[in-house]
Structure 1
Amino acid sequence: MRDSNLPGTELLKTVLEPLLDDFQYWFTRSRHLLETEHISFMSDQEQSDLLLRVKQAQDELNTAKMLFAATDGQVGIEMATLMPWHQLVTECWDVAMRLRRSHEV
């Protein structure tokens, strides 16, 4: 087994661990919003589809976090995995901002 004190491992823990925690936070917030709010500018199907994508991303994220923990931070995550999560979080932010604006009017 590799030495867990290698600089690459520490870099992964320093950068990736907080990033995964951020994704978890935003997916949890988004899921709560989509499960508890009626979003008037989205059809029921659109809201349901977005919620499903958030749930799937949460499942993927939980798996990635378990692997990261099980290997003591010695594995990374492909950008091909992270980018769709980032795009989904951005989409959820847009929905939340639009909903907030609609409540202000």
Structure 2
Amino acid sequence: MLNSNLPESELLKTLLKPLLQDFQYWFGRSRSLLETETINFLTAEEQANLLERIKQAQQEVNAAQILFEATGEQVGIEMAVLAPWHHLVTECWKVAMRLRLQQSQTRLEN
């Protein structure tokens, strides 16, 4: 549990830095998946759209990380900015889970 007595700057370092790293990790994994797999339950347009949204989010997270570092880790990020990233990661997780389920069912059938 977080220490509520932490100064605001320490709280930012403790929460925001790993959160931004997590976004980069999950967007990277999702991007790799979408660039290397054909996902049957998505149309080509849906897959391309999701990939483009991930690329855009990666650029936004990169910019946020650069700003965070450039300010000595003293700047926060509005929830209005974080929420779409969170929703996109959740969407990516759902696609990945559905793909894994589909692949495991295919293996069982063969």
Aligned-residue Cα RMSD (Å) equals 0.9
Distance in 2 (alpha carbons) for counterparts of 1:103 and 1:29: 17
Structure-2 residue corresponding to 1:95: 95
Note the C-alpha offset of 1:102: 0.4
Unaligned runs of 5+ in 2: 1-5, 106-110
> Percentage identity across aligned positions?
66
**Which one-letter code corresponds to 1:7 in the other structure?**
P
Aligned length in residues: 100
Unaligned runs of 5+ in 1: 1-5
* 1:56-78 alpha-carbon deviations (Å, 9 max, x no partner): 00000000000000001100000
What is the TM-score of this pair, normalised by structure 2?
Answer: 0.89
Structure-2 residue corresponding to 1:51: 51
Structure-1 residue corresponding to 2:30: 30
Note the C-alpha offset of 1:7: 1.1
Task: Kindly report which structure 2 residues correspond to 1:61-80, keeping only aligned pairs within 5 A, or say none.
Answer: 61-80=61-80
Distance in 2 (alpha carbons) for counterparts of 1:11 and 1:100: 36
**Structure 1 stretches of 4+ moved >4 Å:** none
Distance in 1 (alpha carbons) for counterparts of 2:49 and 2:15: 31
Structure-2 residue corresponding to 1:16: 16
